[in-house]
Amino acid sequence: MYEFQNVQDRRMSAQAIPSYAPRQAAPHFNKLECFCFNQYTLAPGEKKQWPVAFVIDPRLPKDVTTITLSYTFFEVGGKTPAPPQTSAALARQTGAGA
């Protein structure tokens, strides 16, 4: 089970993206059921638990004795800030350097 809590003071929708360590374990880690397949919306302060079911391929290299599975939640449907502008882009906007 994996637990997530919305610590924001507002409702938010998010989706989890998994990461594996060591990297060579990733192709041998097969998720059967994972909350990371879907997006979820949680109220402010709401806490939920979701199941994760997986199998490890027996062809995992013998030197891999531990696999760390972690998740990063990314907000979806929210306002995405504009990317930072480079000095070249700023020069074009202001007419500088022309």
Give mean pLDDT in consecutive 10-residue pieces for the chain, a chain of 98 residues. 90 91 92 90 93 93 92 77 53 50
Homologous superfamily of domain range 1-58+68-73: Ctag/Cox11 (2.60.370.10)
pLDDT for 93: 52
Residue 68 has what pLDDT? 93
Report the C-alpha gap between 50 and 64 in whole angstroms: 27
Which residue is associated with the tokens 């800030």? Answer: 81
Predicted local confidence at residue 53, as pLDDT: 93
Position 1 scores a pLDDT of 87
Domain range summary for the chain, segments of one domain joined by +: 1-58+68-73
Q: From start to end of 11-81, where are the E strands? A: 12-21, 29-34, 39-42, 47-50, 52-56, 68-75
What is the per-residue pLDDT for 94?
Answer: 47
Q: Yes or no: say if 17 and 71 are a contact pair by the CB < 8 Å rule.
A: yes
* Residue-level pLDDT at 49: 92
